[in-house]
Structure 1
Amino acid sequence: MSRCIGCGAIIQSNNPEQLGYVAEAILIERGKDVYCKRCYEIRNHNFQYEVDNNLHNYYEKMKIIKKEKALILLLIDIMDIMGGFIPNLDQCIGTNKVILVVNKIDLLPKDFKLTRLDKIIRNLALKDGLNLDSILYGSVKNKEFVHKIISKVTKIKYPNKSNPFTKRKVRFNNCYIVGHASVGKSTLMNQIGKMYLEYKTDVITTNSQFQTTLDFIQWPLDKDSFLIDTPGIINPHNFCAYLKGESLHIVMPKKYIKPRTFQLQPNQTIFLGGLVRLDFKGNEKINVSFYVSNELYIHRTKTIHADEIFRSQVTKLLVPPFTDEEKEKIDNVKNLDFEITKPCNLFLSGIGFVHLVSLDAKVTIKIFKMIDVEIRNDD
């Protein structure tokens, strides 16, 4: 059974509209190592495809992992740690060891203290019932960090050995790379391919759109086992599940984030584009730092004017959303109230996080009802 080398879809030559299509003439000419029509169009023309977020299909594919002795590399995005853990993942992977890879650290300021988030991440892993071996922080675009990951895999699989791709003895079977869509799984695989398997270019299809990997893609780890890239599940509680095109480009940071800090008085409001509204109340001023994409517009105003500004400026000044159609998808909002009495972090899934400092303040958040919002104290 041949599979597309870019996304893992089963190759077929019968229906150009179905996944895995490759023209029969191309198969005859190039053999089994080919890209399907979908991958070709994504890689060469940045074609935008509709994604399939069928959770049942995802879990059906993933549950085979718990039947074997495997090692799991679970990738999460530092900009979405609360939404980065896959619900019920323990039912798919069982008690297999997990190395938690916290990716995209390069987006944060160099003086950012990861200890502010490390305890939260560890507690989330424990809450989800994961057999956590270790946590690694870095960027999978960085070769030194990728080498650190492989060294960790090596230490577990081959004590006192240096390169798993050249050794024979098996301590566990396969190593699976798991995580939500667009956290960097395929980027990690491509880095490993070039660093350890002598691939000249990126083999697996990557793109700013979600779900470029459709099925398992396996590369040899040793004679008897594989390193396996898995499909990405799209978190329905993340803003990115409801945005497309330019909106996605804006909310997903691509480079170093410059925190934007405001000292706010009671009865002031902040808009994050037209996606999130934060009303500040209480008896004390509040210091607010936004760790979000540099491209996301932040608008400050008095709360008394906020309703009219949103009504008149959403899809215009307050973007994203850019269209009425996109706005309608996220129109059904919820109100969440929080009291701030000590330094804390407010996590907005798909947007980033906000650091709040006050001794006596209140914040009301208006946000699409499907989006996860969590608050955690610094200590």
Structure 2
Amino acid sequence: MTDNNSDLYCIGCGAKLQTTDPNAAGYLPESSLAKAQSGESELYCQRCFRLRHYNEIQPVGLTDDDFLRLLNLLGQADALIVNVVDIFDFNGSLIPGLHRFVGDNPVLLVGNKADVLPKSLRRAKLRDWLSHQANANGLHPVETVLMSAKNQSDIESLMHTIEKYRNGRDVYFVGVTNTGKSTLINGILKQTAGVSDLITTSRFPGTTLDRIRLEMSDGSGLIDTPGIIHRNQMAHYLDAKDLRLVSPSKVIRPKTYQLNDEQTLFLAGLARFDYLRGPRAGFTVYADNQLMIHRTKLETADDFYDRQKGDLLQPPRQGDEFPDLARVEFTPKVDSDIVFAGLGWIKVPAGAVVAAYAPEGVDVVMRPAMI
């Protein structure tokens, strides 16, 4: 029996293996540890085993101090920092103040999940938009790359770009939860070493629990880090069965609604959008194709939500604990996106007076229109 396996770590999530506390990171039974030590099984903790084989998640808490400690290590290392963001949830996948943690290390910005955006959107235009938004948030990447972690040719191109900037140094992959960092590294491993699905991946926030170092041929490392948890993302308010709605896997089909003022759109029961004042206009919703949109009159919207939340307006589901919706009002001067963190966005024409609602704690922001 041991809880001091200083040289044994789960290859799925990076947690230090231990056999004493079933509720802590890195736990596995002594018998399983013995099999792993003898080479009869792979070094996966019980949490990763259940997640990989049964899609069951066992919560293991990482504190804000844990994430702060990991971020502080970035500036101490001599490395290339690869910041992976989710293009579908760009605002929600930025790490606040990342530029203050990386020190003098160069940052390569990788916009992942490009495959879910409409094919009509030109990549060059999107790349310029991402670079501009990164600069506005204090991050000045040496280059911005668009890709899909599911596309092997994109991964090959990314590897060439990484080699261009790393100069023999380690490469740290950083990002918030669910940006696809671990899927991306698995893709790199499959292409370079023929190893499939080594690192545990899932839609559940917080799957990777500690740094995972993978050696490269020259002795430097590819390092996967735990996803920084943004408490203001919609994923933290959803039942496990509904997480697919905030992590699209197929190309989203925008839906345009011609609205008169004093009309309301409900994004299932998760968010609400009111068109308060202005001429009849088109409003385009960018969200997962399975998310049901319901239109109603503003004057009856409150009553409609109270009666239908958890029923017609699902999710949330009946019996789920769900925060009240908080209201924010906007009047964009130019065509803009009203973004519901982790759920999607609505393109709004200049001059429209609108209000947006999301669960208390979920960010709702306005940005220059992406499309």
Fold equivalence (TM over 0.5): yes
Is 48-57 or 300-309 further displaced after alignment?
48-57
Residue identity in the other structure for 1:14:
T
Distance in 2 between residues matched to 1:129 and 1:250, nearest whole Å: 30
2:23 match: secondary structure:
coil
Alignment of 1:220-239 (within 5 A): 220-239=215-234
Alignment of 1:1-379 (within 5 A): 1-31=7-37, 33-114=42-123, 117-157=126-166, 171-199=167-195, 201-327=196-322, 330-331=323-324, 333-357=325-349, 360-378=351-369
Cα pair distance change 1:192/1:222, threshold 3 Å: same
How far did 1:293 drift? Answer: 0.6
How far did 1:120 drift? Answer: 4.5
How far did 1:224 drift? Answer: 3.0
Deviation sequence 1:60-100 (CA, Å, 0-9, x none): 12311211211011111111111211112233321211111
2:354 match: secondary structure:
strand
Distance in 2 between residues matched to 1:128 and 1:284, nearest whole Å: 34
Contact 1:220–1:226 (Cα < 8 Å) also in 2 = yes
Distance in 1 between residues matched to 2:116 and 2:368, nearest whole Å: 22
Distance in 1 between residues matched to 2:244 and 2:349, nearest whole Å: 30
Deviation sequence 1:171-202 (CA, Å, 0-9, x none): 35310110011110110111111110221x21
Distance in 2 between residues matched to 1:146 and 1:198, nearest whole Å: 14
Deviation sequence 1:284-343 (CA, Å, 0-9, x none): 11211111011111000111221111110001111111134432xx21x33211124542
TM-score if structure 2 supplies the norm length? 0.91
2:222 match: secondary structure:
strand
Distance in 2 between residues matched to 1:342 and 1:61, nearest whole Å: 39
Deviation sequence 1:116-145 (CA, Å, 0-9, x none): 654553233224433411111110110011
2:331 match: secondary structure:
strand
Contact 1:69–1:172 (Cα < 8 Å) also in 2 = no
Residue identity in the other structure for 1:374:
V
Distance in 2 between residues matched to 1:293 and 1:147, nearest whole Å: 28
Distance in 2 between residues matched to 1:232 and 1:209, nearest whole Å: 11
Distance in 2 between residues matched to 1:213 and 1:364, nearest whole Å: 36
TM-score if structure 1 supplies the norm length? 0.89
2:327 match: secondary structure:
strand
1:83 match: secondary structure:
helix
Is 26-35 or 253-262 further displaced after alignment?
26-35
Is 14-23 or 80-89 further displaced after alignment?
14-23
Distance in 2 between residues matched to 1:135 and 1:186, nearest whole Å: 19
Distance in 2 between residues matched to 1:139 and 1:103, nearest whole Å: 5
Distance in 2 between residues matched to 1:237 and 1:62, nearest whole Å: 19
Distance in 2 between residues matched to 1:116 and 1:334, nearest whole Å: 33
Cα pair distance change 1:146/1:291, threshold 3 Å: same
Deviation sequence 1:233-269 (CA, Å, 0-9, x none): 1211111122221232233322111111111111111
How far did 1:225 drift? Answer: 1.3
How far did 1:51 drift? Answer: 4.9
1:132 match: secondary structure:
coil
2:174 match: secondary structure:
strand
Contact 2:326–2:357 (Cα < 8 Å) also in 1 = yes
Distance in 1 between residues matched to 2:57 and 2:244, nearest whole Å: 13
How far did 1:53 drift? Answer: 4.8
Distance in 1 between residues matched to 2:212 and 2:190, nearest whole Å: 16
Distance in 1 between residues matched to 2:236 and 2:183, nearest whole Å: 20
Identity percentage of aligned residues? 34
Distance in 2 between residues matched to 1:51 and 1:306, nearest whole Å: 39
Distance in 1 between residues matched to 2:197 and 2:223, nearest whole Å: 15
Runs of 4+ in 1 over 4 A off after TM superposition: 114-120
Is 14-23 or 221-230 further displaced after alignment?
14-23
Residue identity in the other structure for 1:356:
V
Contact 1:243–1:326 (Cα < 8 Å) also in 2 = no
Cα pair distance change 1:17/1:55, threshold 3 Å: closer
Distance in 1 between residues matched to 2:27 and 2:326, nearest whole Å: 43
Cα pair distance change 1:15/1:152, threshold 3 Å: same
Contact 1:259–1:292 (Cα < 8 Å) also in 2 = yes
